[in-house]
Chain A
């Protein structure tokens, strides 16, 4: 279980204070207005932002003293996930080892993962030769290949058109079946993941204001406020 307790981060113009829990193996969708602190929450879990106080544990392990590289976490950003001078396969290989020296088995694993995200035969392509959706698939493959038990997806599909976005969400659902993994994803369009997510949290003003099942969040008393907040985000 991921446990976040009173993790406080302050900037001159913004204060965040997060408390929430996510069951191991669950898919948790994070919604809320832009600038409300969704991305900061993921960055804190990944280790890019360090809270001044509070507790952050995953399956009993304290994450706060750990460097980003040592945390049980893989992350996919909205954009700029791939290094432009490396091929798709090399970009995936970074998830295993930054030296890019791979064993035969690892090379096979990379091919398998690329196939799993629907990019069989694309391993030699450079990011510049792929579409936005394909690049995000490569980033997903890398998150999976890293073998880390938690994957953070930061608006991973926001720059894609609606049809493609639903395909990608479906892909995430399928991939969960390959390997048990805890997923936290921020998303602009809650309806895309409503059927897939186990949990939905609403983040605004740097706080987790609600955490429940997607149907409760989207259909409950908060619905109108969330809808208003999401539409202006």
Chain B
């Protein structure tokens, strides 16, 4: 019998736990060697306080923008609205390093805003470093995302409720109280938690726009300890604390705000009774104009790089492109294979072995991984690897691995439901015919999962391709990715070249994300 062999899924689960635990133990061992915690105490408090305050402010502003924008867009119909919605959905795929560029290009010392201020004769003493730049970048990336999620949630209000609202003569205040607010209230806490976590873990934006050693998030502080000060004890302690905070936050989020995944609904036009209120028409006009003035310049700042694309295409760029692509492909393969193994193990436990608890563990594992901060994990693994290989080789191993692990939860989310569907449809037939193992995968599952697998692969590539995370640690002479190249150009204030490279990154990432969207929305 082949049944004695362990399922690939359990091997993967074991390997993942071992990897995280190994990194953790390595950190604890180093951190325990020297009593560094006390010595870094004041520094740690400063970093923690800054991380929390900037994340809280970013969250507040992102939610405010997202909320106002979602309500205004829900109430209004105008030509080009569909395109605006599509644009809102894409800001999540904008690589953070590109957002950094956008902030420089618009609000930097020679940016558009400064030029306009100079034209108007205003003295421009505004510096983007510190809170302004960080908040602008975070709100630019997260505000539209919040708006998109809230709009989707608002559109799930049953048409009957809108008819009732008309039939009862709801005023705009009643519409808000009985139709919009209950939906928003259900979504906001979870969204706030998610945006806070993202901003708390923020790396590229804070590294480039922080403008001072005390204005760091823990991720940046870990990077500085590892790369600049070579203080492994400090890195270890920071990583442990970062791990503990992120895991706790994610645990609380998962526990408090599990909600059923929202269905993709297509619905006809709903006539909102509050759309005709004059006061709301004015308010929405103000909101939409203000949001457009904030988002559009940042979103379109890259277009200035269009003319410079021919100039930046050189051997360096092509080599960086090839490196980024290679890393993205390997990361996507890692993400998809791990997700597939875990999802099929979850299905086996749920359906065949009837043990939903074990299945839930497999479901939970990818979510937990989402909580592991990449620099903390990288720090741990690097401390192990540096005993065996030199730093640039460690980078070549760790980059695709960490990027793959970061993308795995998304791959899991698109694959797991399809595998269950396949089992529900054909599981009994397959069992009675004795189709198991690899045959089952090829005959029964493949037709149903090949599109979501393609979608997951493309999305994982998009995420990895634009990522400016731990490459900051390993990048240098031997290892240059496109986002790293962009970071270097930004550092030397060569904004035109940075724009061209950023445009290039965004084009590739968007193409991949678009392919992913097409594949996941295509019928089975």
Which A residues are within 8 Å of any B CB, using their own CB?
43, 46-48, 67-71, 73-75, 77, 79-81, 83-86, 94-95, 98-99
Contacts and interface: CB of A to CB of B under 8 A. Distances in A.
A68 B174 contact: no
Interface residues of B, number: 17
B160 A67 contact: no
Contacts of A99: 174
Of B166, B171, B179, most buried by chain A (CB within 10 Å of CB) is B166
A145 to B, nearest CB: 12
Contacts of A74: 167
Nearest to B185: A85
Contacts of B158: 79-80
Of B164, B169, B179, most buried by chain A (CB within 10 Å of CB) is B164
B160 A98 contact: no
Contacts, number: 57
A153 B303 CA distance: 56
A98 B163 contact: no
Main SS at interface, chain B: helix
Contacts of A71: 167
B169 A80 contact: no
A74 B164 CA distance: 9
Interface in B156-215: 158-161, 163-164, 166-171, 174, 178-179, 182
Given A67-B169, A69-B168, A98-B174, A85 B163 contact: no
Interface of B: 158-161, 163-164, 166-171, 174, 178-179, 182, 271
A23 B271 CA distance: 31
B158 to A, nearest CB: 4
**5 closest cross-chain pairs (CB), A and B:** A69-B169, A80-B158, A80-B160, A68-B166, A85-B182
A98 B167 contact: no
A79 B161 CA distance: 10
Nearest to A85: B182
Contacts of A85: 178, 182
Nearest to B174: A98
A77 B163 contact: yes
24 contacts: A46-B167, A47-B167, A48-B163, A67-B166, A67-B169, A68-B163, A68-B166, A68-B167, A69-B167, A69-B170, A71-B167, A74-B167, A80-B160, A81-B160, A83-B179, A85-B182, A86-B178, A94-B164, A94-B168, A94-B178, A98-B168, A98-B174, A98-B178, A99-B174
Contact of B163 (A67, A70, A75): A75
Given A75-B167, A77-B164, A84-B182, 9 more contacts: A68-B169, A69-B166, A75-B163, A80-B160, A83-B164, A94-B178, A98-B169, A98-B174, A98-B178
Contacts of B178: 83, 85-86, 94, 98
Nearest to B169: A69
A99 B146 CA distance: 30
B309 to A, nearest CB: 44
A83 B163 CA distance: 12
A201 B248 CA distance: 63
Contacts of A84: 182
B167 A80 contact: no
Of A46, A70, A73, A77, most buried by chain B (CB within 10 Å of CB) is A77
A77 B162 CA distance: 12
A81 B164 contact: yes
A77 B170 contact: no
A67 B169 CA distance: 8
B163 A43 contact: yes
A80 B178 CA distance: 13
A79 B160 contact: yes
A12 B86 CA distance: 27
A48 B166 contact: yes
Contacts of A67: 166, 169
A46 B163 CA distance: 9
A83 B166 contact: no
Contacts of B168: 69, 94-95, 98
Of A74, A84, A98, most buried by chain B (CB within 10 Å of CB) is A98
Contacts of B163: 43, 46, 48, 68, 75, 77
